[in-house]
Structure 1
């Protein structure tokens, strides 16, 4: 693995002040929408809006390892800003990874190229040996990057973390998996150990997000990428209470919750203390809304739509906007931007969304 820079190391290859100015919309559409207020246009930002589809990101990646970029504030801030120089997005999301808090808990993480844990947590003793770090030592480099981005843009900055369930799945399995069989086996063999692990991760995640709020983020998103793998009963026991604990800890900013492939869990997700639920493309927004009463919806264009020609991009974007029905809505993808996405298609999408003017929704009965 490429040697890491410390959080205070200078980076001589990071772009200087001559970098292009950031295009920043003047309105507060994102913050209005997530609070359920009317907006003058539909706000748009994209998961993984910074990343491998951008040539400027790939140029940095040729010189720096992924973990190094996450842990070096100058690089993380620069990557966060790259898409805002190209597109008039309504929010920035800080560049980092959901496994970032794990080293502070005593877990060694490498990227090869996806996150891999050297010693997965397979025993109760390993779980009990985890550290509870002080909040300030979890990831100070993330807070530093947030402050740099805040000083460079006028749009809101979104912080994020992985939900306890999803992080626990990585910690037990040791890497990404199609079935997370080791974790699901732990739920059956030793549910008390699983709950202990989830509780420890929840406490650290809450501290981590509070540090991001203190650094200046205007909203937070909790990524529960693998929650959809669980049944409603298992999610009720092992997912919901720990996500609730984290979200309750950051009630002073708007909160977004994402669970992929989890429409069977929406009645439970609707009970979480979150203003916004980010939904994937598997159900249209008009069908999600009754399952998530009282929540602002975020989403839900299929990321693969951005691989098609621009006429298709516009048509699919317009259908998502139509499904939103003029109610408060944050336009996003149902998951992250794919690495093979043409940047020109992202520009087309953002322009289409920002030009759209919805009809007024019908009165609620």
Structure 2
């Protein structure tokens, strides 16, 4: 795409004024210097050689970035299925990377669509959804493309209407805060479950068409991710009729009539399980389950209402599609990460970590469980950080789990609007290029550089 260029060229390092050599006129007399020993010369030569090698690597990286700036495109490095391999527990020689909300308004090309077409038109029109899914991958070369859609997309198949209003976000129609129990009883407005993947063919044919095309585009180039909303999050969204801070209305139902909530969650769980299978049958190679409102739940409420649904979705998907890795991400759920591990180990493959927990602490908690971690760089580092800060955050994340190829790099939440496009490039490049502390500076080199 001609207008997909990032519009920048990485400049070489320059010395600050205080570090430049003094002018000849400022030197009044020569200074006698001691001759260095052979040992010192050998150490200096080794350090210079190491420095030159690092500069060569950096020069090559700058050359690549300059090429990206000119071409506006970048290929995913081999192996093309690294994300799937690591998700299954196989170590890689580098760390696979994708970003939540990697297709978003931070990209100029994305805004050409978002500023003109309503969300549902974009996400439910295959040609648009395909293009918006692929834009970021073409530009940055992530290891995974995730289909452009929304967690609320399956609700109409259940008889629950929704829309996305610009400037306000998703809204769910039907006043379920008042009518939930009645709509579970029967009648023309009954909330129904979708009891098989085939149940989505008529209402969600657009998604199948989108995923099939994306699979064709990404085959043997990178991995294709589908996603679903976790049953509790979707149920809460439907009852709250839109965004909320604490899901207070749905919690009232949970405490006053838990049997009603249980039935609603049962139907939601059956539907979401089959929706996930439908995506895999349409081409998705990996499924992420988003519990976007997990921050509203205490550990006790999560164990009671949310965890059983996630386990059932994972079990149903695993039985139908045994080779498909399953990722679970509970936004705000790091405060009860141990509960997640206890409940979900053996049911899912990858556990996404939000930005409110150190990744090395999460690694200790999941050690020995077979779970792979995903995460968890602060999105604000990409929004406001410098190139060096973005790259260092990537290295820190990789080192925190024991080195490259041991987890899937991602953010602690989605890419923020206003994030510089070049920072996303630095994030992706560093993940795929970094080979661990052994190739970085030694302790002695760090001291010399610091001096």
Q: Distance in 2 between matches of 1:290 and 1:187?
A: 33
| Aligned: 1:33 with 2:86 | yes
CA RMSD of superposed structures (Å): 1.7
Instruction: Verify the 8 A CA contact 1:299 1:331 in the aligned structure 2.
Output: yes
Aligned twin of 1:16: none
Q: What aligned pairs does 1:276-291 form with structure 2 within 5 A after superposition?
A: 276-291=350-365
Q: Distance in 2 between matches of 1:127 and 1:318?
A: 50
Q: What stretches of structure 2 of length at least 5 have no aligned partner?
A: 1-70, 439-451
Out of 207-216 and 21-30, give the one that drifted further. 21-30
Once the two structures are TM-superposed, the CA of residue 156 in structure 1 deviates from its matched residue by 1.0
Q: Distance in 1 between matches of 2:202 and 2:437?
A: 48
TM-score (norm 1): 0.90
Out of 117-126 and 180-189, give the one that drifted further. 117-126
TM-score (norm 2): 0.73
Q: Paired residue for 2:191, among 130, 148, 151?
A: 130
Q: Paired residue for 2:394, among 317, 339, 346?
A: 317
Q: Distance in 1 between matches of 2:184 and 2:164?
A: 22
Structure ID, larger Rg: 2
Aligned twin of 2:327: 256
Q: Distance in 2 between matches of 1:151 and 1:266?
A: 37
| Aligned: 1:203 with 2:280 | no
Instruction: Verify the 8 A CA contact 1:104 1:137 in the aligned structure 2.
Output: no
Instruction: Verify the 8 A CA contact 1:296 1:329 in the aligned structure 2.
Output: yes
Q: What aligned pairs does 1:217-236 form with structure 2 within 5 A after superposition?
A: 217-236=284-303
| Aligned: 1:107 with 2:176 | no
Once the two structures are TM-superposed, the CA of residue 22 in structure 1 deviates from its matched residue by 7.0
Aligned twin of 1:97: 150
Q: What aligned pairs does 1:152-301 form with structure 2 within 5 A after superposition?
A: 152-153=217-218, 154-251=221-318, 252=322, 253-270=324-341, 271-272=343-344, 273-292=347-366, 293-301=369-377
Once the two structures are TM-superposed, the CA of residue 21 in structure 1 deviates from its matched residue by 7.3
Residue by residue over 1:303-327, the C-alpha shift from the partner in whole angstroms, topping out at 9 and shown as x without a partner, is: 0110222122122222111112126
| Aligned: 1:23 with 2:94 | no
Q: Paired residue for 2:421, among 325, 343, 350?
A: 343
Aligned twin of 1:146: 211
Q: Distance in 2 between matches of 1:140 and 1:200?
A: 21
| Aligned: 1:121 with 2:176 | yes
Instruction: Verify the 8 A CA contact 2:377 2:411 in the aligned structure 1.
Output: yes
Q: Distance in 2 between matches of 1:147 and 1:246?
A: 23
Q: Distance in 2 between matches of 1:330 and 1:284?
A: 15
| Aligned: 1:329 with 2:407 | yes
Instruction: Verify the 8 A CA contact 1:203 1:246 in the aligned structure 2.
Output: yes
Aligned twin of 2:127: 74
Residue by residue over 1:121-160, the C-alpha shift from the partner in whole angstroms, topping out at 9 and shown as x without a partner, is: 1231123410234242352211210111111112110000
Instruction: Verify the 8 A CA contact 1:22 1:81 in the aligned structure 2.
Output: no
Q: Distance in 1 between matches of 2:437 and 2:204?
A: 44
Instruction: Verify the 8 A CA contact 2:230 2:289 in the aligned structure 1.
Output: yes
Q: What stretches of structure 1 of length at least 5 have no aligned partner?
A: 1-18, 361-365
SS at match of 1:169: helix
Instruction: Verify the 8 A CA contact 1:325 1:359 in the aligned structure 2.
Output: no
